[in-house]
Amino acid sequence: MARNTLRTLIGATLLAAAGLAQADEQKTVAITQIVEHPALDAVYQGVRDELAEEGYKDGENLRIMHESAQGNAAIASQIARKFVGESPDVIVAIATPSAQTMAAAARNTPVIFSAVTDPVGAKLVQSLEKPGANITGVTDMLPIERHIDLLERLVPDAKTIGTVYNPGEANAVALVELLEERLEARGLTLAKAAATKTSEVLGAARSLVGKADAIYLTTDNTVISAAEAVVSVGERAKIPVFAADTATVSRGAVAALGFDYYDHGRQTGGMVVKVLNGANPGEMPVESVDTLNLFVNPEAAERMGITLSEDVLNDAQEIVKSGQ
Amino acid sequence: MLSDIALYGAIETGLIYGLVAFGIYISFRVLDFPDLTVDGSFPLGAAVAAMLIIAGWNPWLATGAAILAGMAAGAVTAILNVKLNILNLLASILTMIALYSVNLRIMGRPNVALLTEETVLTPWYDLPLAYHQVPVLLFVLVVLVSLVLLWRFMKSETGLAMRATGANARMARAQGIATGGMIILGVALSNGLVGLAGALFAQSQGAADVTMGVGVIVIGLASLIGGEAVITPNTVIKALIACVVGAIVYRLAIAFALNAEFLGLQSQDLNLITAVLVTLAIVLPGVRTSIAARFTRNKA
Please indicate, yes or no, whether residues A48 and A180 belong to a single structural domain of this protein: no
Contacts of B214 in chain A (CB under 8 A): 71-73
The pLDDT, as a whole number, for residue B279 is 76
Contacts of A75 in chain B (CB under 8 A): 254, 267, 270
Residue of B nearest to A83 (CA): B6
| Nearest residue, CB atoms, A122 vs list B7, B113, B212 | B113
CA A306 to mean position of chain CA atoms:
30
Please indicate, yes or no, whether residues A54 and A90 belong to a single structural domain of this protein: yes
Contacts of B209 in chain A (CB under 8 A): 73, 97, 100, 170
Q: Who has greater pLDDT, A8 or A307?
A: A307
Alpha-carbon distance A301 to nearest alpha carbon in chain B (angstroms): 34
> Residues B48, B106: contact at Cβ < 8 Å?
yes
Please indicate, yes or no, whether residues A206 and A82 belong to a single structural domain of this protein: no
Please indicate, yes or no, whether residues A195 and A283 belong to a single structural domain of this protein: no
- CA angle, B201 as apex, A175 and B218 as ends, to 5°? 95
Please indicate, yes or no, whether residues A241 and A302 belong to a single structural domain of this protein: yes
Please indicate, yes or no, whether residues A103 and A155 belong to a single structural domain of this protein: no
Report CB contact under 8 Å: A73, B2: no
Instruction: State the pLDDT confidence band at A102, using cuts at 50, 70 and 90.
Output: very high
Q: Who has greater pLDDT, A220 or B158?
A: B158
pLDDT one-digit tens code per residue, B34-53: 999 999 999 999 999 999 99
pLDDT one-digit tens code per residue, A33-74: 998 888 899 999 999 999 999 999 988 899 999 998 888 888
pLDDT one-digit tens code per residue, B99-109: 999 999 999 88
Instruction: State the pLDDT confidence band at A140, using cuts at 50, 70 and 90.
Output: confident
The pLDDT, as a whole number, for residue B268 is 67
The pLDDT, as a whole number, for residue A17 is 44
Residue of B nearest to A85 (CA): B5
Mean per-residue pLDDT over chain A, rounded: 88
Report CB contact under 8 Å: A75, B205: no
CA B33 to mean position of chain CA atoms:
15
The pLDDT, as a whole number, for residue A233 is 94
Instruction: State the pLDDT confidence band at A186, using cuts at 50, 70 and 90.
Output: very high
Please indicate, yes or no, whether residues A212 and A103 belong to a single structural domain of this protein: no
Q: Who has greater pLDDT, B145 or B109?
A: B145
CA A112 to mean position of chain CA atoms:
13
The pLDDT, as a whole number, for residue A107 is 84
Mean per-residue pLDDT over chain B, rounded: 90
Instruction: State the pLDDT confidence band at A139, using cuts at 50, 70 and 90.
Output: very high
CA A295 to mean position of chain CA atoms:
18
The pLDDT, as a whole number, for residue B63 is 98
Does residue A16 belong to any structural domain of this protein?
no
The pLDDT, as a whole number, for residue A65 is 92
Please indicate, yes or no, whether residues A149 and A279 belong to a single structural domain of this protein: no
* Per-residue exposure over B41-73, b if at least 16 CB sit within 10 Å of its own CB, e if not: bbbbbbbbbbbbbeeebebeebbbbbbebbbbb
Contacts of B46 in chain A (CB under 8 A): none
Instruction: State the pLDDT confidence band at B127, using cuts at 50, 70 and 90.
Output: confident
Q: Please, how many CA atoms are within 13 Å of residue B141, restricted to the half-sphere of its CB?
A: 9
Work out how many domains chain A is built from and give that number: 2
The pLDDT, as a whole number, for residue B254 is 83
Please indicate, yes or no, whether residues A228 and A273 belong to a single structural domain of this protein: no
Query: Would you call A123 an interface residue with chain B, using a CB distance cutoff of 8 Å?
Result: yes
Report CB contact under 8 Å: B9, A77: yes
Averaged over B169-185, what is the pLDDT? 95
The pLDDT, as a whole number, for residue B129 is 87
Please indicate, yes or no, whether residues A50 and A150 belong to a single structural domain of this protein: no
**Reduced to 3 states, what is the DSSP secondary structure of residue A129?**
coil
Instruction: State the pLDDT confidence band at A292, using cuts at 50, 70 and 90.
Output: confident
Please indicate, yes or no, whether residues A204 and A311 belong to a single structural domain of this protein: yes
Does residue A12 belong to any structural domain of this protein?
no
Does residue A226 belong to any structural domain of this protein?
yes
Question: Which ipTM value was assigned to this complex?
Answer: 0.83
CATH number reported for the structural domain that contains residue A178 in this entry: 3.40.50.2300
Instruction: State the pLDDT confidence band at A14, using cuts at 50, 70 and 90.
Output: very low
Residue A241 predicted with pLDDT over 80: yes
Averaged over A258-284, what is the pLDDT? 93
Please indicate, yes or no, whether residues A34 and A46 belong to a single structural domain of this protein: yes
Report CB contact under 8 Å: A85, B113: no
pLDDT one-digit tens code per residue, A27-40: 999 999 998 888 89
In the sheet that holds A293-296, the strands lie side by side as A189-194, A160-165, A214-217, A241-243, A255-258, A293-296, A318-319
Structural domain boundaries in chain B? 4-213
pLDDT one-digit tens code per residue, B215-259: 899 889 889 988 988 898 899 999 999 999 999 998 988 888 777
Contacts of A97 in chain B (CB under 8 A): 111, 207, 209, 211-212
Reference B213, options B97, B36, B42, B93; nearest CA is B42
Query: Would you call A69 an interface residue with chain B, using a CB distance cutoff of 8 Å?
Result: yes
The pLDDT, as a whole number, for residue A25 is 76
Instruction: State the pLDDT confidence band at B265, using cuts at 50, 70 and 90.
Output: low
* Strand-pair partners of A137: A113
Averaged over B282-291, what is the pLDDT? 64
The pLDDT, as a whole number, for residue A18 is 43
CA B114 to mean position of chain CA atoms:
22
Show which residues on chain B lie within 8 Å of chain A, measured between beta carbons. 1-10, 13, 17, 100, 104, 109-111, 113-116, 131-132, 201, 204-207, 209-212, 214-215, 219, 251, 254-255, 258-259, 266-268, 270-271
DSSP assignment string, B113-160: E-TTS--TTGGGGGSSS-TTTHHHHHHHHHHHHHHHHHHHHHHSHHHH
**Reduced to 3 states, what is the DSSP secondary structure of residue A83?**
helix
Of A37-51, A151-165, B192-206, B279-293, which range is least confident? B279-293
Query: Would you call A41 an interface residue with chain B, using a CB distance cutoff of 8 Å?
Result: no
Query: Would you call A107 an interface residue with chain B, using a CB distance cutoff of 8 Å?
Result: yes
Q: Residue A269's domain spans which residues?
A: 26-140+262-288
Does residue A7 belong to any structural domain of this protein?
no
